[in-house]
Amino acid sequence: MLFKSMWEPAKTDEEYREKLKQRRNFIPVLAVLGAASIVVSMLLLCFGGEREFVAGLYMGLGCGILAVCIVWFLKLRKLLKDEKKLRVKRLAESDERNIQVALKAHYTAGVLLILTGYMVMLVSGFFSMEVFWTVWALIMLYFALFLTGRFFYEKKM
Least confident of 4-13, 64-73, 100-109: 4-13
Nearest to 86 by CA among 25, 30, 23: 23
Q: Which stretch, 67-71, 86-90, 99-103, has highest mean pLDDT?
A: 67-71
Instruction: Name the residue with higher pLDDT: 16 or 145.
Output: 145
For position 7, what pLDDT does the model report? 60
Mean pLDDT, range 107-132, rounded to an integer: 93
Q: What does DSSP assign to residue 1?
A: -
Nearest to 135 by CA among 124, 149, 146, 150: 124
Nearest to 18 by CA among 84, 91, 86, 94: 86
Mean pLDDT, range 94-103, rounded to an integer: 83
Q: Do 2 and 61 meet the contact criterion of CB atoms below 8 Å apart?
A: no
* CB count in 10 Å sphere of residue 69: 20
- Give the separation between CA 50 and CA 117, rounded to whole angstroms: 28
Using CA atoms, how far residue 60 sits from 43, 47, 48, 49, 64, in Å, is: 14, 19, 17, 19, 6
Q: What percentage of the chain has pLDDT greater than the value 70?
A: 94
- Give the separation between CA 18 and CA 15, rounded to whole angstroms: 5
For position 30, what pLDDT does the model report? 94
In this prediction, residue 2 has a pLDDT band, given cuts at 50, 70 and 90, of very low
For position 83, what pLDDT does the model report? 86
Q: pTM higher than 0.85 for the full model?
A: no
Q: What does DSSP assign to residue 60?
A: H
pLDDT digits (tens, 9 = 90+) for 124-157: 989 999 999 999 999 999 999 999 988 988 887 7
